[in-house]
Structure 1
Amino acid sequence: MKIIVPMAGMGKRMRPHTLTVPKPLVPIAGKPIVQRLVEDIAKVCGEPVDEVAFIIGRFGATVEKQLQGIAESVGAKATIVYQDEALGTAHAILCAQNSLTGPLVVAFADTLFKADFTLDSTVAGTIWVQQVEDPRPFGVVKLNEQGQITDFVEKPVEFVSDLAIIGIYYFQDGEYLRRELQYLLDNDIKDKGEYQLTNALENMKNQGTVFVPGRVTEWLDCGNKDATVFTNQRYLEYLKERGELLVSPSAIITNSVLIEPVYVGEHAIITNSVVGPHVSLGDHANVRDSRLSNSIVQTSASLLNTVITNSMVGNHAVVTGTPDDLSLGDYNNIRV
């Protein structure tokens, strides 16, 4: 089994947090989004994952080394390929054409999920969906009476379905997928100016491929700051249910209260403070005389004499006395 992870986007809606790192490396409960995604997919695959192909921009050697470590954490080798021009989802996946063989999962790295299932590898293809109130920003599917997918519609203006594609797909035959993606590019078949995976899925369906919907318990988006903070909240609840250790033994906690669930990274220092619920503190974070809730605080950040909620604080940032809803990038310093 292979996992294909397109993640070359600039993450503009997540700025300033994506000015120094790509969005999929922003942490959720102490681990990068893409690591959480790869680990969760590996758990439901039902068979070993032998390769994870990351489709990235020119993010540099440090990022590539981190991605290699993520693949190795699930017992797989990492393949790094580049998408130098944003030409759509189909083009992004085809950048990893040498890895499009055998059974594989395609997972776009701006979404996480909660699920309790094992992937059914006997079907030709599975498209994971979730019911949404407003389907217009998403690709959606329509189903027949047998529960099979009959139509793929990209960002419908008129209502056709409220089953949104969450960005995770299983294909039994990677070579077949590769041929259909290449067909779109060879014939310049675009939708809304880009080469869309949904067009390839529609062609495959018209040739007799039966796609079935997969359902998740919860779909967690990481598209902007508020969505990412909410995803952190829900993921901490999920990890608490699984009984995972969320507070590092090396953290130093003095005269403080932790309100679960919270994640506290290695060598973090918490003094005279109340932290939680739904707070993630990165390694070496320093919190003193403060009250934190529903926030993500990254590596080596310092929060001093402050009260924050619904916030993201970047690596090495310093906050002293600030309003309670904050989105602060790496190395910034705010004092009020």
Structure 2
Amino acid sequence: MSTVFRDLLKKIASGEHTGHNLTRAEAATATKMMLRKEATPAQIGAFLIAHRIKRPTPEEIAGMLDAYDELGPKLQPIAWEQPVIVLGIPYDGRTRTAPISPVTALLLAASGQPVIMHGGDCFPTKYGVPLVEIWQRLGVDWTGLSLEKSQQVFEKTGLGFVYTPKHFPLTNSIWEYRDQLGKRPPLATMELIWCPYAGNAHIIAGFVHPPTEKLFQNTLALRGVTQLTTVKGLEGSCELPRDRTAIIGITRTSELDETGNISIERLHLSPRDYGFTTKNEPLGTTEELIADIQGVLNGKPSDLMQTALWNGGFYLWRCGICSDMREGIAKAEELFTSDVVTQKLEELSSNLLS
């Protein structure tokens, strides 16, 4: 048993009147001790559930990110003037709505905007469809690549994927606790804004509850990160919904505001204003999803194509490739119908095999 870890556990698990938040350094220490299994299983389980009940602070999440930076992998910088997009969707899969993020990543890469994704396999508590499985079904298997090979693919195609079970195996044991506890620990929230890239990055993070968005902003401000887009997205992802107005937070400056926080501009986008039906595409079988995605890549009109255009148009505009949403949507449609995105998928697949 680790007495050091026990003291950290006592701080967060002592209740409303006698408990205390961890400092950033203490949170980093606790995270490293859990990842390295220097704490006992009883201590780790108690810490994860106590921390969830207490709710993490920006300083604690910043410390967790510090630990990931120290122990985890990073793709190295490439020669690109604009920030690389990091789509943080490692959560625990999708169960209700059809995911479109791999298509969005292909679209951006085909437009010259590099993208990095990260995540793992089917995780508790939802045990939904993970993005890595969608990529596999499209002919792109990230799971067997070394980090060095992923770097090569990233440099050649503009698309990278950090597959945590292989590239960051220290995290594997932590997620075993998620099923046993029946709840996501704050580490799962932290991973949404984790940046496994050593260069200039623009972090895209999805959220469900407004306090989470504020937690992201304040945490990244402590780390000096100012390039952030937050999306109240589908199932906690950074995918824009079609059944309601999309609530988005964007940064317009690379400087912190007078309070030392990230200055966020609120954006509300209504799908109806752009001619889209107000309905999310439900998730059927994985086979049906892949068939629908392949239809999108081949430029075929469908409900999922509307989701692809809605999201693609936004991100083409947000990355500065297009001047506004309408131009972005038109550009996305042009790229899908001209086979440019399909060609990017083929290029990606061939580079993985070479």
Structure with the bigger percentage of helix? 2
Q: Could you tell me the TM-score, scaled by structure 1's length? A: 0.29
Structure with the bigger percentage of strand? 1
Query: Larger relative CO (CA 8 A, sep 6+): 1 or 2?
Result: 2
Q: Could you tell me the TM-score, scaled by structure 2's length? A: 0.28
